[in-house]
Amino acid sequence: MDEHYSGVSEYAANLLRALSRPDQTNDYRLFYNSFHNLDSRFRFLESERWSINGTHWPNKIFNYVLQKFLAWPKIDRILGGVDIFWSPHFNFTSLSDGSDKPRRIITVHDLSFLRYPEFFSARKNFWHFALNVKKILRTADKIIAVSENTKNDIIELIGVPTAKVQVIYSGNNIKKREVGTEEAREFLVKHKLAATAETKPTPGRLILYLGNIEPRKNIAGLIESFNQIKSPAVSGERDFSDVKLVLAGASGWKNRKIYDAWKNSPYRADIKFLGYISKKEREILYSIASVFVYPSFYEGFGFPPLEAMTYGLPVVCSNVSSLPEVVGDAALLINPFKVEEIADGIKLILTNNDIRARLIKKGYERASLFSWDKAAKEYLELFKSVYEKEAE
């Protein structure tokens, strides 16, 4: 389990919360392994139909030694036997064979490590190699893809039949709340985005990126485009002297070139790395930023653009992988491999109020289409069809 809810853990928590509402028929037995007792994190699932089962091995021992090499313990047996075993992500998982074998369903968020292995560290690539993802997916009874793009990657890169893969779109991880002026001011002072407590809650225009600091996200390209925006020689008569670039997210891997791009920028004083931020801080940033930019080279789904739209923040994002599928016509799409396009897209939103207003309106409409309740309903239908097929 992650220390914070983010990525797959946030996906799983939101989906389980949604599943617990309409389903009064099935019994759910949840399993996790952590050296620490994490039962308290599942209190939102307290019900006679839900049970929490945890083992407390160090993760490296549990995954590599017990599950991969010894194929013990059988997780479904720890749970007292299950008809269907669903994994929110691929991992080392040992299950019973023979007549006790449960049907297995796996959710795949992306296959970026197969599509772009150069974006990952040697350690990450070794992990994916050791997992033998192709074998895991080929032996699964059903695969859930979070986008059509991910489905196409699974079929192409893994070689599984089309009928084995079903797309279920994720929900929106965030709901809009009103952020108070004092709350925003305290955040800006804390992160040195405002010099004093008296500074207004919008100290200039903020360009916001939110996500891990890693090569796949194209942050070096974003910094280069920011340099172009700030340069008087490139921007001409437009004044962007008040514009700042805020990069919020945990430090990932292979990001030396990203930090070098920042250090070498003549405008590095206007570029701020915030590190990991809480959900509350995320909401503050969405409410005070001027434009959200997501120039990623590859995404299996892409939550941040939808979250930004929920807060009425106009979005500039890549025209590759799943992103056009998710944002539709509610974002300004750019080629992430062309720095000039990223810069031009940002400048257009900062200076054209008509386009800005249109994107804000369409963004609200687009974000409302993605619901965890809808995703839970489709999961339940899939669970039922897999169970009925097994019973035939």
Per DSSP, the residues of 79-124 read TT--SEEEESS--------GGGPPEEEEEE---HHHH-GGGS-HHH
Shared domain for 125 and 273, answered yes or no, is no
Domain containing residue 292: CATH number: 3.40.50.2000
Please state at what angle helix 353-367 crosses helix 303-310, rounded to 10 degrees.
110
Does residue 290 share a domain with residue 246?
yes
**Is residue 204 predicted with pLDDT exceeding 80?**
no
Residue 39 belongs to domain spanning: 7-171+372-391
Angle CA 266–339–122, to nearest 5 = 90
Tell me the per-residue pLDDT of 292-320, one tens digit each, with 9 for 90 and over. 999 999 999 999 999 999 999 999 999 99
**Could you tell me if residue 176 is inside a domain?**
no
196: pLDDT strictly greater than 50: no
Whether the pLDDT of residue 3 is over 80: the answer is no
Q: How many CB atoms lie within 10 A of CB 98?
A: 5
Q: How far apart are CA 360 and CA 331, in angstroms?
A: 9
Residue 269: pLDDT over 50: yes
Q: What pLDDT is recorded for position 301?
A: 95
Query: What would the pLDDT profile of 318-338 be if each residue is shown by its tens digit?
Result: 999 999 999 999 999 999 999
- Do 262 and 133 lie in one domain? The reply is no
Q: Are 238 and 330 found together in one domain? A: yes
| Residue 343 belongs to a domain | yes
Closest CA to 47 of 24, 71, 69: 24
| Residues 112-142 pLDDT 10s | 999 999 999 999 999 999 999 999 999 999 9
pLDDT confidence of residue 203:
59
Task: Report the candidate in 16, 72, 67 with the shortest Cα–Cα distance to residue 45.
Answer: 16
Q: Decide the pairing of beta strands 142-145 and 244-248.
A: unpaired
Whether 286 and 307 have beta carbons less than 8 Å apart is answered as yes
The per-type count for the chain, helices as H runs and strands as E runs, is 17, 12
> Is the distance from CB of 305 to CB of 217 less than 8 angstroms?
no
- pLDDT greater than 80 at residue 381: yes
Task: Provide the number of structural domains found in the chain.
Answer: 2
**281 and 164, same domain (yes or no):** no
Decide if 90 contacts 69 (C-beta within 8 A): no
Distance CA 201, CA 15 (A): 34
In angstroms, the first-to-last Cα distance of the chain is: 36
Q: Are 75 and 93 a contacting pair, CB within 8 Å?
A: yes
User: Is the domain of 163 the same as that of 252?
Assistant: no
* pLDDT tens for each residue of 353-367: 999 999 999 999 999
Domain match, 25 and 105 both: yes
Q: Is the pLDDT of residue 2 over 50?
A: no
In angstroms, the CA 236 to CA 158 distance is: 49
Residue 281: its pLDDT value, please? 94
Amino acid letter, 75: I
- Does residue 232 share a domain with residue 198? yes
Lowest-pLDDT range, 108-117, 124-133, 237-246, 254-263?
237-246
DSSP per-residue string spanning 231-284: -HHHHTT---TT-EEEEES-B-SS-HHHHHHHHT-TTGGGEEEEES--HHHHHH
Average pLDDT of the chain to the nearest whole number? 91
244: pLDDT strictly greater than 50: yes
* pTM score: 0.92
| Structure-block tokens of residue 123 | 């350690």
Q: Could you tell me where the beta strands, DSSP code E, fall in 276-370?
A: 291-294, 315-318, 332-334
| 39 and 149 co-located in one domain | yes
Backbone torsion region of residue 180, taken as left when φ is above 0, otherwise alpha when ψ lies between -120 and 50, otherwise beta: beta
Answer yes or no: is pLDDT of 24 > 90. Answer: no
